[in-house]
Amino acid sequence: MKKTARIVYFALLSMPFILLCKPALSQTIKLYHDAQMQQCTANNARFYALCKKQDTLYSVAEYNMQNQLLFTGYIADTTDNFILNRRGHFVYYDAGTKKTSEGDFTNGAREGIWTYYKRNATVIQKKITYGNNSIQKVVSFDSLGKLESKQYLTDGIPDKYLEFDEAGKIAEEIIYESGKPISTKKYEKAVLIKKKLTDGTETEYYKNGKLKSEKRFDNKENITESHYYDEKGNEVVKSAIMDTAKKYQFVQQMPAAPYNVGEYLGEHLHYPEVARQKGIIGRVIVRFIVYEDGSINDVMILKGVHPLIDEAALQIISEMPKWKPGKSNGKPVKTYYNQPIKFALE
């Protein structure tokens, strides 16, 4: 009897130990982050993350200090290298209400197809394919979710741009060489109607494929030579044919900051300490849109160097004060702008 009692007593002593240890396996770890997503104290925090161990990764949910959800995803561990530790599928939110983007991270860098959503909507705005730390393809959609355009890039440098009409057929094609456009083609219902080359030549076609006109321009877009043809291919004098060609639409006035951008970047750019220690340097190119009211939106990395400094570049551009918008025909219009940011060790 005494022996049996000792065994039961030992078992009873062991059970609380087992029950107390199990919750620790799924314990929530709270991390505080500053504006550059570096770990900090609670007093200096801009954000905080709740992390839970799941197999070999930690699930993470990041919040601002108003407890609004910013993103969910996974990290490799809970050390200070939060940006480099990102793994797997991430979903970003607009202060916890609507999804703004989602996609996968590999070793801290965006990889594969990322989906971006329109503001306060579930409609897809664009899908961006990432690879080798740069954008490889951008597919954009209109407000109804219909295909609007496709852009192909190599290491962040444009190769080809396609624009589509409401029926989903190609309306425009631009071919690039070393990042500069060398030919532009216009289509109607997928039929070529105009072609313009960088050598100053422009040709137009009838819907039956016959040549309509040939023109040559100088570097100021003035016509220096022109030939016109009827639908049978016979050349006609200029006065005998109505030239309905429209000039290509360019922004007549580019957007500009009402302050010195170089000085602003110099004063506000944060060089992540981890990047300094690792000797990470390079030139990041950030693309963004200046809206009609001058606000900076749709900020993305056009050509990245390393996730640590790429994120710092995105951060400073996103927080820039308003610009003066671009103008076309005297009216403010949304305009793309590319801003290079150089990271160098002094």
Between these two residues, 240 and 334, which has the higher pLDDT value? 334
> What letter represents residue 28's amino acid?
T
pLDDT in tens, 7-24: 433 333 333 333 233 334
Residue-level pLDDT at 248:
32
Distance in angstroms (rounded) separating the CA atoms of residues 190 and 176: 20
Q: Per the structure block, which two tokens stand in for 252?
A: 């007549």
pLDDT in tens, 94-125: 877 789 999 999 988 999 999 999 876 678 99
When mean pLDDT is compared across 22-26, 44-48, 183-187, 233-237, the lowest value belongs to 22-26
Residue-level pLDDT at 251:
67
Distance in angstroms (rounded) separating the CA atoms of residues 10 and 5: 9
- With a pLDDT cut of 70, the percent of the chain lying above it is 86
Show contacts of 302-305: CB within 8 Å, 24+ apart: 302/134, 302/135, 302/156, 302/338, 303/134, 303/135, 303/155, 303/156, 303/157, 304/109, 304/133, 304/134, 304/156, 305/133, 305/280, 305/281, 305/343
Do strands 134-141 and 331-333 pair parallel, antiparallel, or not at all (unpaired)?
unpaired
Q: Per the structure block, which two tokens stand in for 71?
A: 């993103």
Residue-level pLDDT at 323:
94
Helix (H) or strand (E) holding 311: helix 307-318
Q: Is residue 9 helix, strand or coil?
A: helix
Those residues with Cβ within 8 angstroms of residue 5's Cβ, 6 or more apart along the chain or in another chain:
none
Residue that the structure tokens 């007093």 belong to? 43
Q: What is the CA radius of gyration of the chain?
A: 28
Residue-level pLDDT at 246:
33
Contact call for residues 120 and 104 (beta carbons, < 8 A): no
